[in-house]
């Protein structure tokens, strides 16, 4: 990379330097210091420019990551006088902890309930936004609005909607003669409610990303298919979807990472505002449990072990999704 | 090892907070540029100290006070425990709420004994006995000076009482609130007449008050967890869950949205009411329900307390003597009465309970009741301080509240009891 840079003919260091003038008058064999500085400049400045990210990442990303692994090997209670080393005991306890598996189940359940419909709606929404609508930009900006709104405000509004006794949705269900749903108490209903919050916020955002990719698909391909007599659905399935593959993979992976770390929505959904995720942990996610262990029970070692297990689970599921979406999105295209 | 790691944590915290570097540097010195002693006071919600601190600075020219206010009690206490863990960063005076006191007492070696460093004339008898006792360790160290308290009385909805044919005047309802048995019996009578209205807001709100009246709570005096062996707890549990089974509970989670709405729609007839709850009722029930709610100076089985705080001086403080002096001044009856007038924090000092400003306070919303005198009376009925173990607060707020909520949502009473016992054991671990 640096080699490429030195060959750039009009770099900042090269341009104002006519070689004749810089020639040392007494025929000194060494390059003058300004030249050497320039050379250093060209060689290392790019690193200096990208360094802030890596330094910050090392400080607030990598260091905590490694330090968490270290802490997870101790019985580390916040404020305790000593932290005895206990090896992998935190992990062993964790893997035998029913509450953890319950939290893992809830997380994955909420993740599936949110990501799957979200992806499908986002792609369809993008296809709609890609058609010749009136006031196209307004529509396109419109789908991003939920993303702009404050998450806390959204969660409060949604927990009002999903209230058991006085919530709007149950009031509506009552008025049309259906029996009300216990959105807090029933585990499945609570997962649906939380997934709805996630979908509301992220579908538009993902639709815009997919839309951008959709617009990059060359018209010629569509036209050729049109000439061959392919209908709109056929073109969408056989051309649009396969060509969206890299974007869909990206969106799926980011939503996997985000979805498995879901925290704010279930936390604010709890009417008592606690981290228990409902009275019998029916919607406690892994990060909520992690937060509860670390910052309410002050058991940092245990919380750190949980963070690492979650990290590994995210990696595995993201990798799984990567292969899955690659297969799904590649149908209709020979590889 | 912990020390090394703490340094790392500090270094990291300071680097991450580059924008606020001042915070990392100045806490060490504890003195300002012009040689004044700098004291920091960390409180949450409203303690009513703004004017008092200015007054103190004016009368003590060598002291500069910085007030660090946090909005929510939870945030304040989590922050405090994190800083105890980090070994630095605490304020010279840290406020501690009653619900978190047990956890602070479990780490009492991190706090100064105020009987040693505080002004000699400030004795524990400045406060109601149960108040100062609850902040005194087994070895007799006083960890915190009491600020305010939350003596319990009963609030009730007069309209609903009238509809059920119950008496409505504060004197006449006292018989209903004589014991828990009479309370729940009246609940049955109420249910029979009114049908869809509930007797109380949520089981946990009643159960917590009952447990806190017992001699022994979730822990015995040796800090042993006795949830499953203490017959009083099981007896309270049985009474409350029986009432839930009869439909007495409105099943509203306290402080949630639905609970707030419950006040507006008059969904329940009675509410366990610490002094500060009057403001909550007034706000949530709203002006349209003005005059419907009343409060009486009676509470089943005597009295109780819910809430109130203490001022502590952590060992991290660079100026513990000066800090203790300020804390003693702030919690003196005269100052606490001023805080009461400005923010309504109910004083815990014996002398303050006879102050005219307190005794003359009335509440227009509660039909002009003399609430100051009423709660002063209730404060004297609070039983002796119950011993709290390190996880008492969590067991009450997280474990039992959840288990009772589960009962309200249809979990069987036995399963919920199992959930409560197991949860307590886990929390106490």
Interface residue A159 vs chain B (CB under 8 A): yes
pLDDT of residue B14: 40
Residue of chain B whose Cα is closest to the Cα of A295: B78
Do the Cβ atoms of A185 and B78 come within 8 Å? no
Confidence band (pLDDT; 50, 70, 90) for B75?
Answer: confident
What number of CA atoms fall less than 13 Å from residue B246's CA on the CB side?
18
Tens-digit pLDDT profile for residues A114-167: 999 999 999 999 999 998 888 888 998 899 899 888 888 888 888 889 988 889
Distance, CA of A260 to CA of A287 (rounded, Å): 8
Name which of A59, A184, A274 is nearest B398 (Cβ-Cβ): A274
Tens-digit pLDDT profile for residues A48-99: 999 999 999 999 999 999 999 999 999 988 777 788 999 899 999 999 999 9
Is pLDDT of B27 > 50? no
Is pLDDT of B6 > 50? no
- Closest-CA residue to A172 (of A186, A162, A187): A162
Report DSSP state, residue A281. S
At A173, list the tokens.
């269900």
Confidence band (pLDDT; 50, 70, 90) for A27?
Answer: low
Query: What is the secondary structure of B309-371 as a DSSP string?
Result: EEEE-BTT-S-HHHHHHHHHHHTSHHHHHHHHHHH-PPB-BTGGGG-HHHHT--BTTTTTB-H
3-state secondary structure of B307: strand
Confidence band (pLDDT; 50, 70, 90) for B341?
Answer: confident
End-to-end CA distance of chain A: 32
Distance, CA of B101 to CA of B78 (rounded, Å): 13
Confidence band (pLDDT; 50, 70, 90) for B242?
Answer: very high
How would you classify residue B410: left for phi > 0, otherwise alpha for psi between -120 and 50, otherwise beta?
left
- Closest-CA residue to B210 (of B253, B239, B182, B175): B239
Interface residue A49 vs chain B (CB under 8 A): no
Q: Is pTM beyond 0.95 here?
A: no
- Closest-CA residue to A110 (of A225, A255, A209, A214): A255
Do the Cβ atoms of B256 and A272 come within 8 Å? yes
Gyration radius of chain B over CA positions:
23
Do the Cβ atoms of B258 and A298 come within 8 Å? no
Beta carbons within 8 Å of B58's beta carbon, 6+ residues apart: none
Q: How far is CA B97 from CA A75, B102, B133, B153, in A?
A: 27, 10, 15, 20
Is pLDDT of A334 > 70? no
The mean pLDDT of B300-309, rounded to a whole number, is 92
Confidence band (pLDDT; 50, 70, 90) for B21?
Answer: very low
Q: How far is CA B378 from CA B109, B178, B253, B273, B373, in A?
A: 33, 13, 26, 11, 9
Do the Cβ atoms of A163 and B258 come within 8 Å? yes
B interface with A, Cβ–Cβ < 8 A, is: 1-2, 8, 12, 15-16, 78, 81-82, 84-85, 107, 109-110, 251-259, 261-262, 265, 267, 394, 397-398, 401-403, 405-406, 409-411, 419, 427
Is pLDDT of B52 > 60? yes
Q: Choosing among A165, A288, A292, which should be mutated to test the B contact, i.e. which has the most B CBs within 10 A?
A: A165
Query: What is the secondary structure of A211-270 as a DSSP string?
Result: HHHHHTS-HHHHHHHHHTT--HHHHIIIIIHHHTHHHHHHHHHHHHHHHHT--HHHHHHS
Do the Cβ atoms of B12 and A296 come within 8 Å? no
Query: What is the secondary structure of A3-17 as a DSSP string?
Result: HHHHT-TT-TTTTT-
Q: Which of A7-21, A103-117, B197-211, B233-247 has the lowest mean pLDDT?
A: A7-21
Distance, CA of A82 to CA of A59 (rounded, Å): 25
- Closest-CA residue to A164 (of A140, A139, A193): A193
Confidence band (pLDDT; 50, 70, 90) for B12?
Answer: very low
CA distance A204 to chain B (A): 28
ipTM for the complex? 0.77
Distance, CA of A200 to CA of B2 (rounded, Å): 45
pLDDT of residue B71: 83
Distance, CA of B117 to CA of B399 (rounded, Å): 37
Confidence band (pLDDT; 50, 70, 90) for A322?
Answer: confident
CA distance B2 to chain A (A): 7
pLDDT of residue A160: 86
CA distance B86 to chain A (A): 7
């Amino acid at each position: 990379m640096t080699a490429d840079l030195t060959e750039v003919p009009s770099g900042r260091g090269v341009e104002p330097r006519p070689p004749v003038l810089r020639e040392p008058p007494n025929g000194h064999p060494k390059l003058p210091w300004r030249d050497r500085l320039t050379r250093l400049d060209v060689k290392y400045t790019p690193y200096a420019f990208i360094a802030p990210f890596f330094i910050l990442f090392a400080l607030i990303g990598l260091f905590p990551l490694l330090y968490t692994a270290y802490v997870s090997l101790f019985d580390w209670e916040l404020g305790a006088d000593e932290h005895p080393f206990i090896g992998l005991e935190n992990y062993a306890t964790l893997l035998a902890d029913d509450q953890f598996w319950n939290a893992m189940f809830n997380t994955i359940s909420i993740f599936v309930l949110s990501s799957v419909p979200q992806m499908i709606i986002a792609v369809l929404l993008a296809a709609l936004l890609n058609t010749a609508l009136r006031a196209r930009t307004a529509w396109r900006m419109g789908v991003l609005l939920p993303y702009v709104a404050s998450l806390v405000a959204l969660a409060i509004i949604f927990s009002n909607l999903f209230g058991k006794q006085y919530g709007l949705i149950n009031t509506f269900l009552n008025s049309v003669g259906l029996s009300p749903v216990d959105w807090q108490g029933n585990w499945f209903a609570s997962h649906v409610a939380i997934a709805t919050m996630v979908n509301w916020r992220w579908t538009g955002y993902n639709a815009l990303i997919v839309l951008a990719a959709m617009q990059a698909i060359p018209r010629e391909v569509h036209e050729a298919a049109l000439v061959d007599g392919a209908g709109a659905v056929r073109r969408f399935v056989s051309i649009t979807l396969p060509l969206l593959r890299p974007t869909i993979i990206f969106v799926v992976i980011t939503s996997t990472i985000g979805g498995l770390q879901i925290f704010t929505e279930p936390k604010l959904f709890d009417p008592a505002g606690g981290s228990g995720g409902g009275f019998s942990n029916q919607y406690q996610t892994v990060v909520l449990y992690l937060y509860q262990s670390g910052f309410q029970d002050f058991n940092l070692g245990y919380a750190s072990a949980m963070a690492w297990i979650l990290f590994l689970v995210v990696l595995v599921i993201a990798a799984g999704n990567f292969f899955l979406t690659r297969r799904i999105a590649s149908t209709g295209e020979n590889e | 090892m912990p020390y090394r790691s703490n340094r790392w944590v500090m270094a990291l915290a300071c680097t991450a907070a580059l924008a606020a570097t001042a915070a990392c540097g100045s806490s060490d010195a504890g003195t300002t540029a012009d040689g004044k002693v700098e004291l920091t006071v960390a409180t949450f919600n409203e303690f009513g100290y703004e004017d008092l601190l200015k007054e103190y600075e004016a009368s003590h020219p060598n002291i500069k006070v910085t007030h660090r206010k946090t909005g929510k009690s939870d945030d304040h206490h989590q922050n405090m425990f994190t800083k105890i863990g980090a070994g630095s960063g605490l304020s010279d005076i840290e406020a501690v709420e009653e619900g978190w006191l047990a956890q602070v007492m479990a780490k009492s070696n991190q706090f100064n004994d105020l009987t040693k460093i505080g002004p000699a004339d400030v004795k524990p008898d400045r406060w109601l006995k149960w108040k100062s006792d609850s902040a005194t360790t087994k070895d007799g160290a006083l960890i915190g000076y009491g600020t305010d308290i939350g003596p319990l009385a009963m609030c009730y909805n007069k309209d609903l009482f009238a509809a059920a044919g119950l008496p409505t005047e504060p004197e006449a309802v006292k018989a209903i609130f004589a014991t828990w048995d009479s309370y729940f019996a009246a609940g049955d009578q109420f249910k029979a007449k009114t049908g869809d209205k509930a007797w109380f807001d949520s089981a946990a709100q009643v159960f917590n008050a009952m447990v806190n009246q017992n001699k022994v709570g979730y822990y015995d005096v040796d800090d042993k967890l006795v949830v499953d062996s203490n017959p009083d707890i099981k007896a309270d549990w049985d009474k409350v869950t029986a009432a839930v089974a009869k439909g007495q509970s409105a099943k509203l989670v306290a402080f949630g949205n639905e609970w707030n709405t419950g006040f507006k729609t008059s969904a329940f007839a009675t509410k366990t009411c610490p002094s500060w709850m009057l403001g909550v009722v007034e706000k949530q029930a709203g002006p349209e329900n003005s005059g419907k709610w009343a409060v009486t100076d009676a509470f089943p089985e005597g009295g109780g307390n819910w809430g109130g705080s203490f001022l502590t001086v952590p060992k991290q403080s660079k100026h513990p003597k000066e800090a203790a002096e300020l804390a003693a001044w702030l919690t003196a009856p005269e100052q606490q009465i001023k805080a009461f007038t400005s923010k309504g924090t109910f004083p815990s000092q014996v002398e303050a309970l006879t102050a005219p400003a307190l005794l003359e306070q009335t509440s227009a919303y509660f039909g002009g009741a003399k609430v100051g005198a009423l709660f002063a009376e209730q404060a004297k009925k609070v039983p002796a301080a119950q011993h709290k173990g390190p996880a008492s607060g969590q067991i009450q707020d997280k474990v039992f509240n959840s288990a009772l909520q589960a009962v309200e949502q249809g979990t069987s009473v036995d399963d919920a009891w199992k959930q409560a016992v197991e949860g307590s054991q886990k929390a106490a671990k």
